[in-house]
Amino acid sequence: MPEQLIPTSVVLGAWVATGLTLFIYSFLYKDNPLFKLGEHLYVGVSIGYSVVLVWYTVFFRLLWEPLKKGIAEHPAALGTYEPVIPALLGLLILTQFFPRVSWLSRIAFAFIVGFGSGVAIPRTVSSYILKQIEDTVNPLITMGANGLSMGFDLASPQSGINTIILLIGVVSVLFYFFFSVEHSGPGMVAARTGIYFLMIAFGAAFGYTVMSRMSLLIGRFRDLITFAGAEYGYATPVLLLVTVLSLAGWELAARRKGGEE
Amino acid sequence: MKGLLKDLARRMIAIDRRIIFLLIACATLLPLLNPFGLPIKVSPEVQAVYEYIEAMPERSVFLLSFDFDPSSKPELEPQAVALLRHAFRKNLRVIVMTHWITGTGLADGVVTQVAAETGKTRGKDYVFLGWAPGGYALIISMGQDLYKAFPSDYSKTPTLGMPVLEGVRNLRDVNYMVSLAAGGAGIEMWYVFGKDKYRFEMAGGATGVIAPGLYPFLRSGQINGLIGGLQGAAEYETLIGRKGMAVAGMDAQSATHFVIIVLVVLCNVFYFALRGDKGKRV
Amino acid sequence: MIFLKRQLPLAITFVMGVAFALQYYIPHPVSEAAITKVSDWMKIISGFALVLGIASVFHVHAVKIRRQAPGWGYSGVLFAAIVTTMAVGFWSGGESKADGSQTAFGWLYDYTMVPLQGTMFSILAFFIASAAYRAFRARSPEASVLLVSAVVVMMGRVPLGQTLLPGMQISIGQFLFKIPGAWDITQWLMNVLNSAVRRAILIGVSMGSVALSLKIILGKERSYLGGGKDQ
């Protein structure tokens, strides 16, 4: 079976991607012009991409097309011009750039913040507070076929023993953060318990963060390995050599300049 | 002898960090080039997501939200690919969207690639709605009227009348939803502004950074399952019987974790070796 | 004028806040129509807010170029990247694909943005290892607990740890004892101990955010109005 040739645009893309990746990784040696170039390119491309998407999604899809369709079909209907209201509010936000009329943006922000605060209150209370408290005060003793029983299986998160541990943890951590009451006597025991629970959770968070960051590295290395192949013109080894030589040249030049000074 | 050991400890603690960088690079690269293939153990929280999708009847509506961008691609793309492969295998109607503007191209690429390999048709078996701004407001908008939230899909085809969206008026008509999230605009937002009112079942796929914070929601049943990081993706690939990028990366993951544990242990050994030096800064 | 600059925005915040807090409890069609309409508007307004953020970045770098501040050349690179990406994007009609093949915009996304963004965050892996080596010391009982917890989770969440420490079952007489492995301990740690702490933090932070939202609606918190003596 003949080998499928990779399109030129893909090979070119592989070289660009590999080069940019190695430019960013050059920061591991030292902050240098290659890294700064990659960094600024990243910000620039992200902004450019966002602008294009906002233009086509917001201005075209959500504003222009509904207006155009509405005016064509029902020019006299008031509802046709409804998208003008959020457009006007959006334009008010942009008055921030003109100091004399920047106060107009407050009207738009008041609208946004008022709506956001209003919708958040009942939903936050329901989802984050009530539901969480509900699960914290689960019954310890349950009625089964053999009568009343309490679970002591640590491996089962819903067992009685784990419910007790969970309750102690939640209350002690909440107490630790309650600074209006002095942490002395029984309060100190509760606060110290809370601290140890916190340390366990932070340790777990660190472990998961390590896992996450290493996964990102694995992903990038996998791409570099793929682009090291002959079908991509050995992009990785060639560009690695170019990057190393560039860094060496830059370092030598910097040391020579430092020596002269 | 004691002096020699203290001297060694002092030098090791002050070692150039670029040597540590090199160790990490080797620990990542070598297992990728020469995998050793250790077995993957499946956790109950990943199993729950798999079992829910497995039990869904054909043509049920599955909503997948790519709430991440290329910075979390290595962790969440394998989860997305595994979930899409499973959903297409079950002949579900798949709706894909994203809250993250810079993740739009990535989401489109993934869903197109998996649909092509499983022979699924855009508009009939799946739809990529694309990105729209608003975050929580978008979820509320989708919960009230999906066609007002997304009048057209990413390829500018009108959503009203699409075969894949037949009978789907809003989020209440979604049978299962998974949010693959890398930050705040993700799983919690979907629950608070989506499931809480519109009552669809949902699960989460998260990066390792935010996964620990989602366990309270898992415990309380607010999400029925949680796929955490690359390990979670590897577990899901094991369940669907199709090993991919995640399983391939787990050996490197093991090696890097091992290196970090050794570094932490060594650091403490040197620290305790030098702790006896009164007045000397360690 | 003071009314327009101060009272009106506060009144709008109050009305919107109270109306949409109460809306959650009113399933009437008018109430549902109101939230549908306003959430549609919010999508459009958010788009303009994004423009604000983008324009701010423009402004910062434009000033740097104008003043020829140190590193202004890189700001030029940034501008060039923005303009090039926008030009390619508009030329491609904002599409990553056309007729099944990749557009220039799609190419730019796949081969510049994805590797750059991915690499920027993956570099943290090296720094977390270096930081762990230098700073992760058992200086106190609390730090020791943190360290042990981190090591247990790092072992338990990868196949190597699960294989090296699989746990075992020992039977003594009629009793069967299960000695948990790294995976079992990690699962328990995450589902019970970690959940307890995260839940407490979630409840505390949520109560704080509800209090803040109430303060905003009632006009006690005005920082969102942007400052100035007429606030």
What's the complex ipTM? 0.92
Q: Span A70-96, mean pLDDT? A: 88
Residues 221-240 of B with CB under 8 A from C: 229, 231
Q: What is the pTM of this model?
A: 0.91
Domain membership flag for residue C51: yes
Contact A134 B220 (CB under 8 A): yes
Q: Please report whether residue C165 resides in a domain.
A: yes
Residue B220: CB atoms within 10 A of its CB come to 18
Task: Supply the pLDDT for residue A80.
Answer: 84
Q: How many CA atoms lie within 13 A of A5 on its CB side?
A: 3
pLDDT in tens, A163-206: 999 999 999 999 998 877 777 788 889 999 999 999 999 999 99
State which of C69, C102, C121 marks the end of a domain.
C69
CB of B23 within 8 Å of a chain A CB? The answer is no
Mean pLDDT computed over every residue of chain A = 89
| Residue B234 three-state SS | helix
CA distance A206 to chain C (A): 6
Q: What is the mean pLDDT of each run of 10 residues along chain B (282 residues)?
A: 82 88 94 89 96 97 96 95 97 96 93 95 96 91 93 91 95 97 90 93 96 95 95 96 92 94 92 69 47
Beta carbons of B101 and A54 less than 8 angstroms apart: yes
Select from A48, A124, A219 the Cβ nearest to the Cβ of C118: A219
Which residues of chain A from 175 to 214 reach within 8 Å of chain C, CB to CB? 177, 194-211, 213-214
Residue C229 lies in a domain: no
C125 part of a folded domain: no
Number of domains observed in the structure of chain C: 2
| Contact: B253, A201; criterion CB under 8 Å | no
| Residue range C109-136: mean pLDDT, rounded | 92
SS3 label, residue B253: helix
Domains parsed from chain B with CATH numbers:
2-34+250-275 (no CATH), 44-243 (3.40.50.10160)
Averaged pLDDT, A35-47:
93
Query: A232 pLDDT exceeds 90?
Result: yes
- Mean predicted confidence (pLDDT) in A48-77: 88
Is residue C230's pLDDT more than 80?
no
Residue A65 binned pLDDT confidence (cut-offs 50, 70, 90): confident
- Would you state the pLDDT for residue A1? 46
- Is the Cβ of B100 closer than 8 Å to some Cβ of chain A? no
Task: Grade residue A4 by pLDDT with cuts at 50, 70 and 90.
Answer: low
C183 in Cβ contact with B41 (< 8 Å): yes
In a domain? residue C115? no
Give the Å distances, CA to CA, from A130 to A134, B91, B216, C170, C203. 6, 37, 12, 42, 9
Q: How confident is the model at residue A3 (pLDDT cuts 50, 70, 90)?
A: low
Burial pattern C71-101, b for ≥16 Cβ within 10 A else e, equals eeebbebbbebbebbbebbeebebbbbeeee
In a domain, C228, yes or no: no
Domain closes at, from C69, C93, C112: C69
Query: CA-CA distance, C77 to C129, in Å (whole number)?
Result: 32
Residue keyed to tokens 């089964």: A144
Look at residues C69, C95, C124 and tell me which one is the last residue of a structural domain: C69
Residue C151: inside a domain: yes
Q: How far is C54 from chain B (nearest CA, A)?
A: 13
Mutation site, A20, A63, A121, interface C, largest C CB count within 10 A: A121
The distance of A32 to chain C (nearest Cα, Å) reads 12
Nearest Cα to Cα of residue A122 among C30, B192, B186: B192
What is residue A250's predicted lDDT score, i.e. its pLDDT? 92
For C14, the domain range is 1-69
For the residues A152-162, what does the mean pLDDT come to?
81
CA of B95, closest CA in chain A: separation in Å?
18
Q: Is residue C215 part of a domain?
A: no
Neighbouring C-beta atoms of residue B274, cutoff 10 Å: 18
* Dihedral over alpha carbons A141, A144, A148, A151 (to 10 degrees): -50
> Quick one: CA dihedral A188, A189, A190, A193, positive or negative?
positive
Q: Which residue of C has its CA nearest to A90?
A: C45
Residues 171-230 of chain A with CB under 8 A from chain B are 201, 204-205, 208-222, 225
Chain B residues within an 8 Å CB radius of C113: 70, 102, 105
Residue that is written with structure tokens 């009685």 in the block: A160
